[in-house]
Amino acid sequence: MVKPNRAISEHGIVGDMETAALVAQDGTLDYLCWPALDSPTVFAELLDEKRGGAFSIAPQLVEPRRLQLYVPETNVLITRWMADGGSAEVLDLMPHPDARVHPGNTARCILRRISVTRGTILFKIRCAPCFDYAREIPNISTIDGGVKFTGKDLTMHLFASIPLTANDGAAEATFELSVGKTAWFTLGGEDLTIPDDAMLSAEIVETTAAWRSWAGKATYRGRWREQVLRSALALKLLTSRQHGSIAAAATFSLPEAIGAGRNWDYRATWIRDASFTVYAFMRLGFLEEAQHFGRWAGQRVMASDADHPLRIMYAIDGSEAKDEEELPHLSGYAGSRPVRIGNGASVQTQLDIFGELMDSVYLSNKYGEAISHNGWEHVRNLVEYVIEHWQKPDAGIWEMRSEPRHFLHSRLMCWVALDRAIRLAKKRSLPAPIVRWAECRDAINADVWENFRHPEDGYFVQERGGKELDAALLMMPLVRFVSSTDPVWLKTLDAIGEQLCDDGLVYRYRVTDGLEGDEGAFTTCTFWYAECLARAGRLDAAQLTLAKGMRYSNTLGLFAEEQDVRGRQLGNFPQALTHLAFISAAFFTDRRLDPSHRPNWQP
């Protein structure tokens, strides 16, 4: 295995709800797409240490201890170096949109401010962007107060409070700072102009205030509140301020297995995340975000028809997700090739998405805005599609790139689609063939109970006629298909604990999925498992699983998609679905431990 220069877990994230950057514990900004989250990279050293490009800040200290933290209840990141010879820190942020309100202060940028807290320290900085997924080294030229990087389709400005030199495609500087002194850098598009100290100070103060104002709307006051709030703040960074959609993760092609081909692009919005997103934001009191996402999902429904059915994922702006493409010039994280952008799974058939979508529509209508007449007509069309197709095989929730199969989870979510549509029609007195829908819903229920059980042991299994388990079965009580204390379900829960769990690590399945490399533990499933334990009344086990699961975050409380057998982070980062599942598990477990924390609304 090739050892990466910086581990996935050794990063924090900053952003402005249009794009996001990763900053490593050594002060290097080694991942950024610009101007949008799904644009080509400007820095991608995380994926190729030689070609990718990075913006490094390096204090010349002997064996410093490195620490990262967020300014409490914000997405303002501080990276610290502590050594015998001195200590320093860099504050990283992207100005919050609400902080870009002053004349001459409306351009988006990354702001990096260096401070010395002890001693006098020599710093070396190097900003070497590589545009278009490291396929283009931009020209560099000196401008007043900084440098300009010019590429074929992108121009960026870097301004600084200290002199910069242009050297071999990079902006560089070496300088000393003593206690109480600062240096700053701003990097943005060609509309960025040279700022002054007062403007930058105002952006820092107002960005901090804006994030705290948003976090202050959280109504959750239960256990693990700090971690829950950090998850909410991470989710907010992945949420498009303009569109309301939420990216599955900030990154692409960070591997699920080192050195193998399990490398996917997660900078898109999955319909599957719809109900999880609406539910999590509503549970925490962020109703505006839940409704904005619900409207985005509703627009996808309105745009679908028989010729253009609902897709499993969309670009952040709601257009079609990009085709999958390999970037052979990039070596990949820890040598994990191929590096991919776009996602070929976008053309798969995954029947479960209709259930997740309908669950979010139901929740949004129950606790938010009522569905329109035209919207309901489109929903009816989707329900008819489910009735016509629910018995067909598909690729399933895990997007297996093998022959389609009859997955229980897909059947389950088809049942959810019909169940929620029936509930909504009754609640809003909407026109619908409820009797026919109910007959189909009940037929799916019977199919699951009759054909998706282990032939000897009786618990639920991954696919029709099979014997293997699947952690996606953990959704069965969460969507209220089966009682959380039903004897058959408890058998299933016990079997999952015995066969798919390993000391808080939960694997999605143990079957061959047609891909090279070993399957890592899936962090989301750890929290689904914890919530199922809590719903079954096994509160001690639920709390312990939650405690172990939280330790799989990094020091900042951020979760990647998976872990290896040592609990080290793998996969794209930070992973929205994991943070959503953690919020749900923490919320429900806390409510079971202390019923006085029960919210005013019920799912």
pLDDT 10s digits, 368-395: 788 999 999 999 999 999 999 999 999 9
Map residue 252 onto helix, strand or coil: strand
Whole-number Å distance between alpha carbons of 97 and 207: 8
Question: Do 84 and 176 lie in a common domain?
Answer: yes
- What pLDDT, on a 0 to 100 scale, did the predictor assign at position 601? 45
pLDDT 10s digits, 518-548: 789 999 999 999 999 999 999 999 999 999 9
- Residue at a domain's end among 192, 215, 238: 215
Q: Cβ–Cβ contacts within 10 Å for residue 308, how many?
A: 9
Report the phi/psi class of residue 460: left, alpha or beta, with left for phi > 0 and alpha for psi in -120 to 50. Answer: beta
Whole-number Å distance between alpha carbons of 421 and 431: 11
Q: Is residue 3 part of a domain?
A: no
Q: Is residue 558 part of a domain?
A: yes
Whole-number Å distance between alpha carbons of 601 and 368: 12
Question: Do 444 and 300 lie in a common domain?
Answer: yes
CA-to-CA dists, residue 464 to 173, 329, 344, 451, 515, angstroms:
63, 42, 26, 6, 22
CATH number at residue 312: 1.50.10.10
pLDDT 10s digits, 471-523: 999 999 999 999 999 999 999 999 999 999 998 899 999 987 777 777 899 99
- What pLDDT, on a 0 to 100 scale, did the predictor assign at position 439? 98
Question: Do 247 and 158 lie in a common domain?
Answer: no
Question: Do 526 and 392 lie in a common domain?
Answer: yes
Question: Do 203 and 239 lie in a common domain?
Answer: no
pLDDT at 455 over 70: yes
CATH number at residue 133: 2.70.98.10
Tokens of 80: 């610290």
Tokens of 281: 């934001």
Terminal Cα distance for the chain, rounded: 46
Average pLDDT of the chain, as a whole number: 94
- What pLDDT, on a 0 to 100 scale, did the predictor assign at position 261? 87
Q: Is residue 4 part of a domain?
A: no
Question: Do 148 and 252 lie in a common domain?
Answer: no
- What pLDDT, on a 0 to 100 scale, did the predictor assign at position 211? 98
Give the residue-averaged pLDDT of 295-322: 87
pLDDT 10s digits, 12-65: 999 999 999 999 999 999 999 999 999 999 999 999 999 999 999 999 999 999
Tokens of 198: 């007062």
- What pLDDT, on a 0 to 100 scale, did the predictor assign at position 519? 81
- Indicate the DSSP class of residue 119: S
Q: Is residue 603 part of a domain?
A: no
Ordered DSSP codes for 180-203: T-EEEEEEEETT-----HHHHHHH
Q: Is residue 487 part of a domain?
A: yes
Angle at 527 (CA atoms; ends 584, 13), nearest 5 degrees: 80
* Max intra-chain CA distance, the chain: 78
Residue 142 phi/psi, 5-degree rounding, is -85, 135
Question: Do 261 and 286 lie in a common domain?
Answer: yes
Q: Is residue 297 part of a domain?
A: yes
Question: Do 155 and 237 lie in a common domain?
Answer: no
Question: Do 209 and 263 lie in a common domain?
Answer: no
- What pLDDT, on a 0 to 100 scale, did the predictor assign at position 309? 78
Question: Do 208 and 277 lie in a common domain?
Answer: no
Question: Do 43 and 90 lie in a common domain?
Answer: yes
Question: Do 27 and 162 lie in a common domain?
Answer: yes
Exposed (0-12), middle (13-18) or buried (19+): which is 162, by Cβ within 10 Å?
A: middle
Q: Among 65, 60, 63, which Cα is nearest to 81's?
A: 65
What total number of domains does the chain contain? 2
pLDDT 10s digits, 205-239: 999 999 999 999 999 999 999 999 999 999 999 99
- Residue at a domain's end among 215, 247, 272: 215
Report the phi/psi class of residue 169: left, alpha or beta, with left for phi > 0 and alpha for psi in -120 to 50. Answer: left
According to DSSP, the residues that pair with 246 across neighbouring strands are 239
Domain ranges, residue 102:
11-215
- Residue at a domain's end among 185, 215, 245: 215
Angle at 482 (CA atoms; ends 581, 476), nearest 5 degrees: 30
Q: Is residue 220 part of a domain?
A: no
pLDDT 10s digits, 68-121: 999 999 999 999 999 999 999 999 999 999 987 665 556 899 999 999 999 999
Q: Is residue 544 part of a domain?
A: yes
Q: Among 381, 452, 376, which Cα is nearest to 410's?
A: 452
The amino acid at residue 600 is: N
Whole-number Å distance between alpha carbons of 93 and 99: 12
List Cβ<8 Å contacts ≥24 apart for 372-378. Answer: 374/302, 375/298, 375/301, 375/302, 376/430, 376/431, 378/301, 378/302, 378/304
